[in-house]
Amino acid sequence: MAAPVYLALSFGTLLIGLFVGFLVGRTRSRGTGGAPDGPTVADLVQRIIQSTHTGVVVLNRFGDVVIHNPRAEELGLVRNNRVDDRARKAAEVVVETGDPMEVDLSPLESRGGRTPEAVLGEVRPLGDGFTAVDADDQSEAVRLEATRRDFVANVSHELKTPVGAMALLAEAVLDAAEDPVEVRRFTTKILNEGNRLGTLVTELIALSRLQGAERLPEMHTVEVDAVLREAMGRARLVMESTGIDVTTDDDSGLLVQGDRTLLVTALSNLLQNALAYSSAGSPVSVSRGLADGYVEIAVTDRGVGIPEDEQQRVFERFYRVDRARSRATGGTGLGLAIVKHVAANHGGEVRLWSKPGLGSTFTLRVPAHLEHRALTAGENGTNGAEPTLVGGRATLPSKSDGTATDHGGMA
């Protein structure tokens, strides 16, 4: 058990001991006729117990509840003034042995909502048959540990694939040493796998910085149009190889306060994602606008689309809707996770609208520069009309007649 948990549980036990001791002291002072002025120390200790974040319960030798605080009920340790059977049985053992004992008090079945999922308790002897039970909610720690395990497993798997492929290809090069054509073919594949491995490592480092305690770069005034131009430049090779043309609206002159490198990375990831999940020749568009004090950059495609039940999961690390397509395009499964964290670190968010067979719109929303935030629709030169983007709405030309197709707003 981690040190903070030990400290929390030990602190609760110490308070109980003080509380019991002061109750005895107060009883004796009453016998001598002393009348305390205001709350006694015992009263204050009781108030601390009642307000502590850990669940605290005192049991007598028969397992009956002598005193408990509200947190004990919230954690499910006490119900209807009866202690959890696991805690009561542990208390019986502690009374016999005189040694503290840890006990798992997690709910046996989910109660739904925001109730604790993992509760760890410690039972300590107080003497004369009394025991104290301290319980702490460990749900967040358990979730973080599960996330860590999944992340390590996913990283190991993702790294193993290109490394294993490079080893096999190297053997193939040795076997074909006398055939220049085969050597060139296998060497090209080794280069591709090496580039894929390098991209994966780079994105892992970027994601760890965005999620960790490392301080982000200083924020500066950034031109949104310049960010888009650089992101388009990065996606140029993919556009040429897929035969997909990305159209953009006119320069907006919008500004944000942020880190240009991170914003370019996020927008590049959105563009590459749109290109990877679109068929050759289908349109992809990028739109910029101002709405509710946010600069919105929407990347819209008419690709395969994303089922509703998977739309939130696409921002998870290594999650892929179509693994076969991701393998073919060399995706790492980290691109959208990076976009999400870049947006969050800029005080914004990324929104998604998608329907299978119709396509998707990813909208990166970042707080606008101060000089833009006060602009109303009329001041922005729209004569009261909505900006280019409102709530992530974007349009694409129709495939057949050239009319606009509304991809809808986002929740």
Residue 7 in any domain: the answer is: yes
CATH number of the domain residue 203 falls in: 1.10.287.130
Residue 335 in any domain: the answer is: yes
pLDDT value at residue 213: 46
Residue 351 in any domain: the answer is: yes
- Asked if residues 355 and 305 have their Cβ atoms less than 8 Å apart, the reply is yes
Identify whether residues 239 and 181 lie together within a single domain: no
Identify whether residues 102 and 177 lie together within a single domain: no
Report how many domains make up the chain: 3
What residue ranges in 153-194 does DSSP mark as E strands? none
10-residue stretch averages of pLDDT, the chain, 411 residues long: 49 54 51 63 81 89 90 89 91 92 84 72 92 89 74 68 80 86 87 75 68 62 92 84 86 88 88 85 89 91 83 72 48 76 88 88 89 52 36 38 39 31
pLDDT value at residue 228: 93
Identify whether residues 170 and 295 lie together within a single domain: no
Identify whether residues 208 and 224 lie together within a single domain: no
Identify whether residues 397 and 290 lie together within a single domain: yes
Boundary residue ending a domain (215, 241, 269): 215
CATH number of the domain residue 382 falls in: 3.30.565.10
Identify whether residues 162 and 289 lie together within a single domain: no
What is d(CA 221, CA 231) in angstroms, rounded to the nearest whole number?
17
Residue 187 in any domain: the answer is: yes
Identify whether residues 242 and 381 lie together within a single domain: yes
Identify whether residues 309 and 348 lie together within a single domain: yes
Show the domain range for 274: 217-406
Grouping H, G, I as helix, E, B as strand and the rest as coil, residue 38 is coil
Please name which of 233, 235, 152, 210 lies closest in space to residue 340, comparing C-alpha atoms. Answer: 210
Boundary residue ending a domain (116, 137, 158): 137
Residue 266 in any domain: the answer is: yes
Identify whether residues 291 and 352 lie together within a single domain: yes
**244 exposure class (CB count in 10 Å sphere: 0-12, 13-18, 19+):** buried
Residue 411 in any domain: the answer is: no
Residue 345 in any domain: the answer is: yes
Close Cβ partners of 347 (under 8 Å, ≥ 6 residues apart): 366, 367
Identify whether residues 247 and 393 lie together within a single domain: yes
pLDDT value at residue 303: 83
Identify whether residues 360 and 236 lie together within a single domain: yes
What residue ranges in 110-191 does DSSP mark as E strands? 119-127, 130-137
What is d(CA 336, CA 313) in angstroms, rounded to the nearest whole number?
10
Residue 126 in any domain: the answer is: yes
What is d(CA 31, CA 382) in angstroms, rounded to the nearest whole number?
83
CATH number of the domain residue 117 falls in: 3.30.450.20
pLDDT value at residue 215: 54
Q: What is the CA radius of gyration of the chain?
A: 31
Identify whether residues 233 and 194 lie together within a single domain: no
* Helix or strand (DSSP H, E) at 399: none
* Helix or strand (DSSP H, E) at 295: strand 294-301
